[in-house]
Amino acid sequence: MKESNSDYKKPKEYKFGNTRCIVHSIFSWMSDEEQEEWFREEYAKKNPFVLNLNNAMSSCYRSIVQNEQKNEPNPK
């Protein structure tokens, strides 16, 4: 998505302690609903980036759940 100069928005900046994070992304200017809609549309189009991101998040979630299950005390 190429933006014209009139559509340009200044990057969003966040500060975490002594760290400054500058976000150069159209997502930082989208509402939660707009972001969700974009991801759903791109997932339906089988966008490789979105598919890889989905796989990575699913893998991470499964790993967290498995670790939590290992650390649960056994019921008596």
50, part of any domain = yes
Q: Which two tokens stand for residue 3?
A: 């933006």
3, part of any domain = no
How many distinct structural domains can be found in the chain? Answer: 1
Among residues 33, 29, 38, 35, which one has the least CA distance to residue 3?
A: 29
Query: Looking at residue 39, what is its pLDDT?
Result: 92
- Give the Cα separation of 40 and 29 in Å (integer): 18
Range of the domain at 45: 9-70
43, part of any domain = yes
Query: Looking at residue 59, what is its pLDDT?
Result: 92
Query: Looking at residue 70, what is its pLDDT?
Result: 80
75, part of any domain = no
58, part of any domain = yes
% residues pLDDT > 70 (the chain): 86
30, part of any domain = yes
Asked if residue 3 has pLDDT above 70, the reply is no
Is 22 within 8 Å of 11 (Cβ atoms)? yes
17 sits in the region (left: phi over 0; alpha: psi -120 to 50; else beta) called left
1, part of any domain = no
Q: Give the pLDDT band (50/70/90) at residue 71.
A: confident
